Every structure is written in C-alpha cells, then in structure tokens.
Amino acid sequence: MDLGLQNKVAFVAAASRGLGRAVAEELAQEGASLIVCARGEKELQQACEAIHQNSSAEVFGVAADLSQAAALQRAIEQGLARFGRVDILVTNVGGPPAGRFENLSRENWEEATRLLLSSVLDLTRLLLPGMKERGWGRIVNITSIAAKQPVQNLILSNSLRAAVTGFAKTLAQEVAPYGVTVNNILPGYTRTERVEQLAQAMAEKEGVTPDDIRARWEAEIPMQRLGEVREFAALAAFLVSERASYITGSSIAVDGGWIRSLF
Ligand code: NAD
C-alpha cells in the first residue's frame, strides 16, 4: 500500500527514543522529511543520524523541553525555516510520575498538565493554521490505554490523557472541513526503555525480579506479551497517511487486547 508520505513533512515530538522514535523511523522509511524534538541535544542528534542512515530521509533535530511553550515555538520556527511547512504533527511526551491523588501535590498536577496537555495545545496552535491553509493535515496524539481504562496508581495520566482525548475529538469536528484529521493512538504495555526501567524499579521496590513484573503485566494482556514499538508505529504511519483520509476523531488502541471495553 502506498501511504503517500513521500513529499510530506512531519514533526514528531519526544522522538529520541521509545514510541516517538519508532514513529519517526517508520515515517522516514515511508519517505517523509522529519523534524524531531526531545530535551537532550546529544541523544537527539544521535537519533537523527541513525534515522537518516536507515532511511536516507532528511531529519532535522531541535532540542526543546515540551513543557516550555517558548521552546516549542522556537523549535517550530526552526523547523519551518528548514522545510517551509509541516503537514503532519505527532504529539508525544515522557510519561508523568505514578502516584495516588493524596501523594501528589498541586505542583505535580501543574507540571503534568504543562507536559501532557499544554504541549499538545501549543504544538497544535502553532501548526494547525498552515495545515488549514493548505487544505491537508494530520494530527496524531500518542496518549495511553489509561485514556479508556484508568490504570491503578496513575491518576495524572488517567486524568490528563482523558483531557487530550476530549480536546482531540472536539478539534477533529472543528477542522474536518479543511482536510485536517485528528486522531489518538493509545499504546498498551510496549517494550521501550522506559517500560524496562519501570519493571526494574518496581522489582527493586517489591524484592522480586523484573521478569516477575513483566510476567504480571503479560498475565493482563490477552496476547500474553508486551507490544513492540514497530507494531505501534505501523498504525501511526497509516493514520497520518493519505490513505486514512476519512478517519478522524478516533482513539485506537495498540494494546494486545488489554482494554476490556466494547468501544
Ligand atoms: P520513553 O521514556 O521511552 O521516551 C520518551 C521520549 O520523550 C524520549 O525521547 C525523551 O527524551 C522525551 N521526553 C521526555 N520528557 C520530555 C520533555 N519534557 N521534553 C521533550 N522531550 C521529552 O517513553 P515511551 O515508553 O516511548 O512512552 C511515550 C509516551 O507513551 C509516554 O507519555 C508514556 O506515558 C506513553 N505510554 C507508553 C506506554 C509504553 O508501554 N511504552 C504505555 C502507555 C503510555
């Protein structure tokens, strides 16, 4: 299937590793040019080089902290100066801290809101006008299974992913007449560095092994295994493609069957 991404320019947030990186790799292999951001300059530049080598796509890295609106504006300005336009926006962030309501402060909530919700709003605000003007655009937000089925001890993620979902559904309706689609992808347990670190940290806390923690997660997943980042990135590539032109306002999970609800 030709996804029609050859002449498109994509901005992928938080893409030096994990899910964002996998999406960037997939889009590069489909022929898109890329602007990618993450906080650490060195890791980001290494990611850009690796993506370029694997695909020969043009990859432009801009270091930016997603919780800082001014930094995002600078990143977008630099990206636009390089490529002239951005057709595809993939929003993504690092996960917020775990915790229950009574263990989290007002500052925790404010910081998580800046990172998980405001970064999506800021990036959309910066890139939507150009998409509308050209009559073509794709916005995909990487959220979480927590948006559909709250995960214990993750109240920040459960709450703020739901806010992004409400925003995206409403925006999808507002911009549909302009050829711009807005969708969310909900990753389930997927093997990334962060998930490996989480298994390690939980194992140390409970006096068990990381394998025990992974086995516990796998027992909750009908497919009985964690997902691979490429399985996730394949859906992202489709949703931002020419071929997904009639899909908007949707939230689609890549979770091995973890979510138990009908819709
Ligand atoms: P990861 O830690 O492997 O990668 C996160 C990326 O975000 C890195 O490139 C990092 O540099 C970047 N980043 C973090 N904070 C940033 C900031 N303030 N500014 C700019 N860049 C920043 O994480 P991942 O596993 O790929 O997860 C990505 C998102 O998906 C997270 O929000 C996570 O909560 C969510 N998620 C992941 C899983 C999973 O199993 N991997 C499941 C559900 C939800």
For residues 25 and 87, membership in a common domain is answered with yes
Three-state DSSP state, 198: helix
How far apart (Å, rounded) are the C-alpha atoms in residues 140 and 166? 14
Rounded-to-integer distance, Cα 233 and Cα 21, Å:
9
The verdict on 117 and 207 lying in the same domain is no
Residues 158 and 201 in one domain: no
- Cα–ligand 1 centroid distance for 90 (angstroms): 13
Q: How confident is the model at residue 212 (pLDDT cuts 50, 70, 90)?
A: very high
| Atom 26 of ligand 1: nearest residue by CA position | 18
Q: Which of 21, 62, 73, 92 to mutate to test the pocket of ligand 1 (most atoms within 8 A of CB)?
A: 92
CA-nearest residue, atom 14 of ligand 1 = 94
Residue 198 CA to ligand 1 centre (angstroms): 12
**What is the per-residue pLDDT across 18-73, written as a single tens digit (0 to 9) for each?**
999 999 999 999 999 999 999 999 999 999 999 999 999 999 999 999 999 999 99
CB 96 within 8 A of CB 115: yes
Question: Domain limits at 216?
Answer: 189-226
Indicate if 77 and 57 belong to the same structural domain: yes
Nearest to 116 by CA among 175, 165, 61, 170: 165
- Banded model confidence at residue 196, pLDDT cuts 50, 70, 90: very high
Same structural domain for residues 167 and 193?
no
Ligand 1, CB within 6 Å, residue ranges: 14-20, 38-39, 65-67, 92-95, 115, 142, 144-145, 187, 189-190, 192-195
User: How sure is the predictor about 231, in pLDDT bands with cuts at 50, 70 and 90?
Assistant: very high
Flag whether 58 is in a domain. Answer: yes
Q: Please, which pLDDT band fits residue 13 given cuts at 50, 70 and 90? A: very high
Cα separation, 176 vs 246, whole angstroms: 9
CB within 8 A of 103, min separation 6: which ones?
A: none
Counting the structural domains of the chain, the total is: 2
The pLDDT value recorded for residue 77 is 98
Q: How far is the CA of 21 from the centre of ligand 1 (A)?
A: 10
Ligand 1 atom with the smallest distance to the CA of 19 is 26
